Structure 1
Amino acid sequence: MRFLLPLLLAASASAHAQTDDFRQCLDGLRSTARGAGVSEATFRAHTEALQPNMGVVANLDAQPEFKTPIWDYLAVLVDNERVADGEARLKEHAEVLQRVQQRYGVDPATVVAVWGVESNFGQGFGRTPIVQSLATLSCFGRRQAYFRTEFVAALRILQAGHFAPDRFTGSWAGAFGHTQFMPSTFERLAVDFDGDGRADLFDSAPDALASTANFLQRAGWRQDLPWGFEVKLPAGFSAAGEGRRSKRPSAEWRARGVHLVDGTPIPEGLSLGLLAPAGVQGPAFLVTRNFDALYSYNAAESYGLAIAHLADRLRGAGPFATPWPTDDPGLSRAERRELQTLLLARGHDIGTADGQLGEKSRAAVRAEQQRLGWAVDGRAGQKLLKALRGG
């Protein structure tokens, strides 16, 4: 106990200092908020008892779009389960999606793909209080200027009465609703599409779908363009200096020996950039400005590719023709649940088999990797699933 007490005292002192820093930061933001249209009463009502949530700061440096191997990321976001759910939503909301396309020029599959990737079609809004998240990120960690803008926008949303404070929850980073708009995006681009007099991204799928199409249209989406297509690169192809922003005419890519994966020529008259998220040995894509519009939704190429690929699957396309350059592909959500069931059967206390590989599941994976004499990294792939299936 004598060794533990100093650690407990140090942790308590650190927490107090953290809270003091948070209060000072919020006091400094008071005038910024006032200058941006937030009343003193609103600011006080939503910050007076606020405590920091340092978990969101940790999440800022662990975003799956940047940390997860691309084959794991897409295996979860574009699995057969999500495709089937998306097909059902296309049918369920066909009339609304047709009107959305007529008004904003974005096709139903693309809009529904955003919905699926962002909130699993409304099944995963997030439960973190938005004001708390954004206030914390405004005071700690990276990109504080960005999050301060969002924090103030969140206060304006509450001040205007768009949502009740206890309803105003979302992701750890402050995004909310069916298609996970940030507060400033809601203010700029949310639309009332169901005609009830308010833009509601929580309880109105029509409002959320139309708002998403409005976002993409404003980001430069053109309905006469594909997002891009998978291509086959010739042997020895060098991708040095290439990227989705370094766009070249179709003719240049054809002259360099690049063609569609089915062997047909690249369509003429397009401006295309190369996207090779796993290098030239993996799937490669030539992308248009429409991909850039998808990218702008979350500023990650893996994220944009997930939406583009899910949209293609919803139109009837199959998986990518080129395999990922790994001997241990990722797991779908159904396979993750199977893996967790097998871990539970082996006595690992991981909670329920929900397909979410949290820290308890990763700890169990590490234990099994150690038992098997494998490298211990906590990553679950096809190899481990097959090994556990065999007992």
Structure 2
Amino acid sequence: MPARTAAKRLARMATVAGLSMALLMPAGTAFADAGFRHWVKSFRATAVSHGVSGRVYDAAFRNITDIDPVVLEKARYQPEFTAPAWDYFDNRVQEHSIAVGREMARKWKPWLDRIERRFGVDRYVLLAIWSMESNYGEILKRDDVMRNVVRSLATLGYADKRRSKFARTQLIAALKILQRGDIDESHLSGSWAGAMGHTQFIPTSYQAYAVDMDGNGRRDIWNSVPDALATAANLLQKNGWRTGETWGYEVTLPAGRKFPAGSMSLAKWESIGVVRARDKPYPDRSMNAELKVPDGRKGPAFLMTKNFFVIKRYNNADKYAIAVGLLADAIAGYGGLVNDWNRPFTKLSFEQKQELQQRLSARGYYDGKFDGKIGQASKAAIVSFQAKAGLPQDGHPSMEVLESLRQTAR
């Protein structure tokens, strides 16, 4: 057979085979992957122009040929509702996170001593942040949560218009982390949006604050707890943390009056009836503070000092900073809240929430982890059970629901 004729026949066969494969693929997949690969190729010049080695870039993308669909799904379907205060705090400041925090305080005491001496940041605040960000590192073990950071950020940079500028900036920073040698590309993992390590730093924040606390030459927030906690401490210190001061005080409010917005001295707050809970005095009445009532006037009230607003530099949300402060105080052994959150039901303990999830699972309503954290899957399961049992379908993890589950199991 002449070579030209054979070549033409092979070309026709390849075309038919390619068409057959295309018909088997989901609509748009081949085009999307081709477009992504073209974007990766063209973005190389941008990364190089910002100081990333071409060799590092090529190595980072060696095994990345398509977008991460999980990343786009999470980016598209982030919850749009605002959780009530009790829901947010009950899942974060609870018996399990407090007990593990105390265990970690004992386990890492020598390093926490060194970190406190170097940065002046309260160890219990660092432990609370560790809990809030990665459940003391437990999420780093979960393949369903952790993603390849380069692939995640490239996916967002290419396909998510809202986050593309952010993602491209973070991608260049992530590549520079690889270039410095703190971690290799096979272990550069993070959340779907690129938050990394035990204390969940995005790449640019890592560049600004990462610390090699254990002295091995690498700033490894993925595998070194001392590095991760010191990095969090460095962020807080550089943003104005005041050593030896609290984050705020729970207070009681006098009935029937309005309060001024903004900050004023604790002495002035006290003069208008805003006094510290349990009738304790303020250690320094000249300190300025701002009033926060995250659950309305019927819930707990707080006077927030400077360190509260420093914690918000980690995550700019009042609820986050309050949860860090309350969890830190609980790990340290201080008393709980005098005025509890406004729950429209009887609260369950952590172990009772686990029992609730187990009983819902046994009845076929729930197939998640028995972790005592009531997320959307747990709430949906509760609603399904409530509907079947003829109960109000509010999705609350209440003693009433647990008792009903117990009775129906008899």
SS at match of 1:132: helix
- What amino acid sits opposite 1:299 in the alignment? N
* 8 Å contact from structure 1 (residues 72, 331) kept in 2: no
- Bigger mean CA offset, 212-221 vs 257-266: 257-266
Unaligned runs of 5+ in 1: 1-8
Partner of 2:20: none
Partner of 2:236: 216
1:69 aligns with 2:84: yes
Structure 1 residues 322 and 351, CA, compared in 2 at 3 Å: closer, same or farther? closer
Of 293, 296, 302, the residue aligned with 2:319 is 302
Deviation at 1:36, TM superposition (A): 1.9
Partner of 1:134: 153
Partner of 2:10: none
* 8 Å contact from structure 1 (residues 114, 179) kept in 2: yes
Structure 1 residues 334 and 26, CA, compared in 2 at 3 Å: closer, same or farther? farther
1:253 aligns with 2:269: yes
User: How many aligned positions are there?
Assistant: 378
Partner of 1:94: 109
Structure 1 residues 328 and 65, CA, compared in 2 at 3 Å: closer, same or farther? farther
Deviation at 1:352, TM superposition (A): 4.7
Aligned CA RMSD, in angstroms, stands at 2.8
Structure 1 residues 284 and 66, CA, compared in 2 at 3 Å: closer, same or farther? farther
SS at match of 1:309: helix
Partner of 1:114: 129
- What amino acid sits opposite 1:317 in the alignment? Y
Distance in 1 separating the partners of 2:275 and 2:98 = 27
After the TM superposition, which residues 303-322 of structure 1 pair with which residues of structure 2 at under 5 Å, given as runs? 303-322=320-339
Of 168, 175, 179, the residue aligned with 1:159 is 179
Structure 1 residues 325 and 220, CA, compared in 2 at 3 Å: closer, same or farther? same
* 8 Å contact from structure 2 (residues 91, 373) kept in 1: no
TM-score, normalised to structure 2, is 0.82
Distance in 1 separating the partners of 2:80 and 2:89 = 10
Deviation at 1:363, TM superposition (A): 3.8
Deviation at 1:358, TM superposition (A): 6.1
- Bigger mean CA offset, 289-298 vs 15-24: 15-24
SS at match of 1:282: coil
Distance in 1 separating the partners of 2:264 and 2:80 = 26
Deviation at 1:153, TM superposition (A): 0.8
Unaligned runs of 5+ in 2: 1-22
- What amino acid sits opposite 2:177 in the alignment? I
Partner of 2:68: 53
1:337-387 deviation digits (Å, cap 9, x = unpaired): 211111122233515534455665444222112123345455544442343
- What amino acid sits opposite 1:43 in the alignment? Y
Distance in 1 separating the partners of 2:356 and 2:132 = 22
* 8 Å contact from structure 1 (residues 76, 331) kept in 2: no
* 8 Å contact from structure 1 (residues 344, 350) kept in 2: yes
Deviation at 1:26, TM superposition (A): 4.2
* 8 Å contact from structure 1 (residues 65, 73) kept in 2: no
Deviation at 1:222, TM superposition (A): 0.7
Distance in 1 separating the partners of 2:38 and 2:263 = 47
Deviation at 1:216, TM superposition (A): 0.9
* 8 Å contact from structure 2 (residues 357, 366) kept in 1: no
Of 365, 368, 375, the residue aligned with 2:385 is 368
Deviation at 1:332, TM superposition (A): 5.5
* 8 Å contact from structure 1 (residues 57, 141) kept in 2: no
After the TM superposition, which residues 274-353 of structure 1 pair with which residues of structure 2 at under 5 Å, given as runs? 274-328=291-345, 333-348=350-365, 350-353=367-370
Structure 1 residues 39 and 150, CA, compared in 2 at 3 Å: closer, same or farther? same
- What amino acid sits opposite 1:92 in the alignment? K
1:34 aligns with 2:51: no
Deviation at 1:107, TM superposition (A): 1.8
* 8 Å contact from structure 2 (residues 365, 385) kept in 1: no
